[in-house]
Amino acid sequence: MTLLSLPSRIDRDLYPALMSPELNAKYPTDHKAFVRIDVSLRIYWHTLFDICPELLELSGPDGMSIFRPFMAWAGEKKLAFDWSYYLWVYVWLRQSQFKDRLLADGKYLRSIMAASAARWAILDRGRSRGIVIGCADTTDLVIGWKCRSVRVGREIELIEPEEPLPAPSDIFGYFTLPAFELNVFPGWQGLAR
């Protein structure tokens, strides 16, 4: 095993690297620290491509032409990696070499909006029951509902409104629903980083 000059006694020594492919590369590959960081990075990878496998059509099967530059960009922007993780991938794709192919087929955006709505419905612990996500590139809305009964998990809905809502001022906007009904439009909130 290579001697490691970076501190790696405890997990906390590795925190910044757990979300950074660039920092992972600074650790020798035969060291436990490298493997521990690799395990963490794989989960960011799987969270993206297992849920939105269409994106692999853009990147190629290993996903790395999206994953590496996105994670570096997210690091610069200090993105929180909350439920909006997928939406930020779309924001990045939209200014990348993949832009034209991304915008040519609505399936990528639908998949990304549904993934973020589902992530909100799984992870959010606030009192809201649902989230509505809108995008300047479509008039469709995606709603994520939290688990509302013992036997039913979270639910995701695609809505094509007859009278479209005003477009959010950024690429994405969202609002949350205090009950299990879509009966309010309080205006769009922008994504927090």
Where do contacts with other proteins occur on this chain (CB under 8 A)? 1, 8-16, 18-19, 29-33, 35-36, 38-40, 42-44, 47, 78-82, 122-123, 125, 127, 129, 146-153, 180
Spell out a b/e string for 47-78, using b for 16 or more CB atoms within 10 Å of the CB, else e.
ebbebbeebeebbeeebeebbbebbebbeeee
- Least Cβ distance, residue 18 to other proteins (angstroms): 6
Q: Which is nearer to other proteins, 13 or 57 (CB)?
A: 13
Q: Rounded CA gap, 86 and 110, in Å? A: 11
- The answer to whether 155 and 142 have CB atoms below 8 angstroms apart is no
- Least Cβ distance, residue 10 to other proteins (angstroms): 3
- The answer to whether 93 and 99 have CB atoms below 8 angstroms apart is yes
Q: Which is nearer to other proteins, 102 or 143 (CB)?
A: 143
- Least Cβ distance, residue 158 to other proteins (angstroms): 21
Q: Which is nearer to other proteins, 20 or 168 (CB)?
A: 20
Query: Looking at the DSSP assignment, which residues form a beta bridge with residue 132?
Result: 143, 175
Radius of gyration over every alpha carbon of the chain, rounded to an integer in angstroms: 19
- CA atoms within a 13 Å half-sphere pointing along the CA-CB vector of 165: 26
- Least Cβ distance, residue 71 to other proteins (angstroms): 11
